[in-house]
Amino acid sequence: MPTRPSKSEPTNGPRANGARTKVQRDNRRGSPDVVRKRRAARHFNELLAEVGGGGSKLDGRTEKRRQRMLAELREGKARGNGKALKPIDILVRVDALLALGEPLASIKKAAKPPRPVPATPDVVDGVKRLHAAYRFRPEVYAFVGIDERVVAKAGAKLGPSIAGRKHRGGTNVDRAA
């Protein structure tokens, strides 16, 4: 009685019963020539995208995140639970979009800034404490109705926020500073 070939034996070629299987063809996708061509084409596309494309392009995941944050600001609701965005959520999203390089004008199109909040001592104190903790960019506060004068009264310095950006010296600044 003929024995079956084990899983480790190749199945192409003659079998015990005399039948032949189809001979597997080489995979052109893995040939060194094709791999070299793909790499060269990718590199060429990246070079031209940097030169003519207006700078760095976001990867797919970051682009989806950018689109999601803009949509959430436009609708005023979080995507996951559908709840209305709180003022701190708006500040975080706007600051993250600015960190990704999104122009302020396009963020303003997505999220219209509300009416200005009156500059009471409580509001100034709240902005001061919030800025000490988060270091948002001063222009971000306008998206929750905080005027530039209130931000200046609170002592928020005009400069880059800490979240993910580098300090003038080129080193990362930690949040504890």
pLDDT in tens, 76-96: 898 888 899 999 999 999 999
Read off the pLDDT band of 132 (50, 70, 90): confident
pLDDT of residue 73: 93
The whole-angstrom separation of Cα 82 and Cα 87 is 15
- Domain range summary for the chain, segments of one domain joined by +: 60-110
Cα 90 to the chain's mean position, in Å? 16
* pLDDT for 169: 42
Residue 127 has pLDDT above 80, yes or no: yes
- Label residue 162 by pLDDT band (50, 70, 90): very low
Confidence of residue 53 (pLDDT cuts 50, 70, 90): low
Sign of CA dihedral 10, 14, 20, 22: positive
Helix axes 87-99, 121-134, angle to 10 degrees: 40
Instruction: Report, as an integer, the average pLDDT of 56-65.
Output: 77
Conformational region of residue 155, where left means phi above 0, alpha means psi within -120 to 50, and beta covers everything else: left
d(CA 75, CA 88): 16
The number of residues making up the chain comes to 177
Structure tokens at 70: 């803009």
